[in-house]
């Protein structure tokens, strides 16, 4: 393939992906606005019109910001590749560090820093304007800076050595380097899953044992019925950042923890909390987490194999605006352009995730009253200002959970 041909393919894919994103967002915006002044029949009497309008306005604000982010992302990608920014940064770093793995690390650090600065205005606008306007933001500037510093430290401590090891394997292991990198990737991800509950998450939030004795007994009885062994029930201080509520379990083996946001405990009745947890346990019972890890493993192996076929092709680098290829540059380019080609396939992963949600709902309806889960979902949709009227096509691409009306309709028939 010639560099010119690959350039045309890349530009066509970028235009298709960007155009599709903007078109879907526009559909979603129109659909939500069109249904703003009428609560859906399934929620009449459960959701007040004022809350429904708030959800529509909140959704519209996020979609409008998404327009800007989509256009900026496409422009930045073009500037980095065909615009020559990557080649310029790479050349400058070579003069400082020479060729080698340290220069590769510096390349990723520099591009990450530039990307962070470019994305900073929209990130701050989302947290301190949109979330603030709709009453969700609890984040202070001090906490934001602390999170930023901790995230950067983790990137250096964990990401730096991992990236160095990847670059070393890519050069030291011959043509089958992609298999060794995949094994390293898989082992690292499994290790992080074990470490996250007790080492990483506490760096950002405070976790305290659940103290409500009656609720604890109810939950422990549910865990016994479901055959779920946990290392503890914990409450997370999610309210220090946001008014949104959630619950989840994390970790593997003896490190499994059940975590409730403090905002969730404040908003739901005990039987509703039990139903929400039963839904999360449904994911465990159906081995959804294991299945998703396996799927990610297969996909990552396929992507690394593909990169292995491309990294020695001069047209791959030249077609993306980089004259001289290198191991680090190949990995960088691949990670930047791959999402452009994958976005049209988003409905496939979305469909799998939705099926898992339906299965978890059905399991919860077996272990608790379906009416309790319905009541909890209604409250969560209301309190999180989640739209009840998403555009169906937009939802197929972007939503990992089924629309509220479809979930509740199935629960009514459970």
Report strand pairing: 247-250 vs 257-261: antiparallel
Q: Where are the alpha helices (DSSP H) in 35-173?
A: 49-80, 85-97, 101-125, 131-133, 141-154, 160-172
Q: Yes or no: say if 99 and 171 are a contact pair by the CB < 8 Å rule.
A: no
- Is 224 a catalytic site residue? no
- Choosing from 361, 372, 383, 391, which is the catalytic residue? 361
265-293 as b/e: b if 16+ CB within 10 A:
bebbeebbbbbbbbbbbbbbbbebeeeeb
- 148-154 long-range Cβ contacts below 8 angstroms, 24+ apart: 150/203, 150/204, 154/200, 154/203
- Residue 365: Cβ within 10 Å count: 23
d(CA 113, CA 244): 29
Residue from 263, 265, 232 nearest 249 by CA: 232
If DSSP codes are grouped into helix, strand and coil, which group holds residue 251? coil
Catalytic residue among 25, 272, 274, 280: 280
361 is catalytic: yes
314 exposure class (CB count in 10 Å sphere: 0-12, 13-18, 19+): exposed
Identify whether the C-beta of residue 169 lies closer than 8 Å to the C-beta of residue 177: yes
Distance CA 13, CA 41 (A): 40
- Give catalytic residue positions: 280, 361
């Amino acid at each position: 393939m010639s560099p010119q041909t690959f350039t045309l393919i890349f530009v066509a894919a970028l235009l298709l992906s960007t155009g599709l994103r903007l078109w879907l967002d526009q559909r979603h915006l129109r659909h939500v606005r069109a249904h703003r002044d009428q609560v859906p029949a399934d929620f009449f009497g459960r959701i007040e019109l004022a809350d429904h309008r708030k959800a529509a306005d909140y959704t519209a604000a996020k979609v409008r910001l998404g327009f800007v982010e989509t256009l900026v992302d496409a422009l930045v990608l073009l500037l980095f590749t065909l615009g020559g920014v990557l080649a310029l940064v790479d050349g400058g770093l070579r003069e400082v560090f020479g060729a080698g793995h340290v220069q590769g690390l510096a390349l990723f650090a520099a591009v990450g820093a530039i990307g962070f600065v470019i994305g900073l205005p929209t990130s701050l606008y989302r947290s301190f304007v949109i979330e603030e306007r709709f009453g969700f933001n609890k984040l202070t500037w001090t906490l934001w800076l602390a999170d930023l510093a901790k995230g950067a430290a983790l990137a250096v401590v964990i990401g730096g050595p991992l990236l160095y090891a990847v670059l070393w394997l890519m050069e030291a292991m011959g043509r089958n380097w992609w298999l060794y990198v995949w094994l390293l990737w898989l082992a690292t991800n499994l290790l992080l899953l074990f470490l996250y509950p007790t080492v990483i998450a506490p760096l950002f939030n405070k976790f305290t044992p659940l103290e409500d004795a009656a609720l604890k007994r109810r939950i422990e009885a549910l865990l016994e019925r479901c055959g779920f062994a946990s290392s503890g029930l914990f409450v997370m201080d999610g309210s220090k950042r946001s008014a949104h509520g959630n619950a989840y379990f994390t970790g593997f083996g003896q490190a499994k923890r059940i975590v409730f946001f403090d905002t969730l405990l404040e908003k739901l009745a005990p039987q509703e909390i039990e139903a929400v947890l039963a839904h999360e346990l449904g994911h465990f019972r159906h081995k959804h987490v294991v299945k998703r890890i396996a799927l990610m493993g297969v996909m990552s192996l396929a992507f690394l194999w593909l990169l292995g076929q491309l990294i020695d092709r001069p047209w791959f680098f030249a077609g993306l605006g980089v004259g001289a290829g290198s191991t680090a540059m190949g990995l960088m380019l691949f990670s930047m352009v791959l999402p452009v080609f994958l976005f049209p396939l988003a409905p496939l992963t979305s469909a799998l995730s939705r099926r898992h949600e339906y299965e978890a709902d059905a399991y919860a309806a077996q272990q608790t009253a379906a009416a309790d889960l319905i009541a909890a979902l209604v409250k969560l949709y209301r309190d999180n200002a989640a739209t009840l009227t998403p555009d169906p096509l937009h939802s197929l691409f972007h939503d990992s959970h089924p629309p509220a009306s479809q979930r509740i309709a199935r629960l009514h028939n459970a």
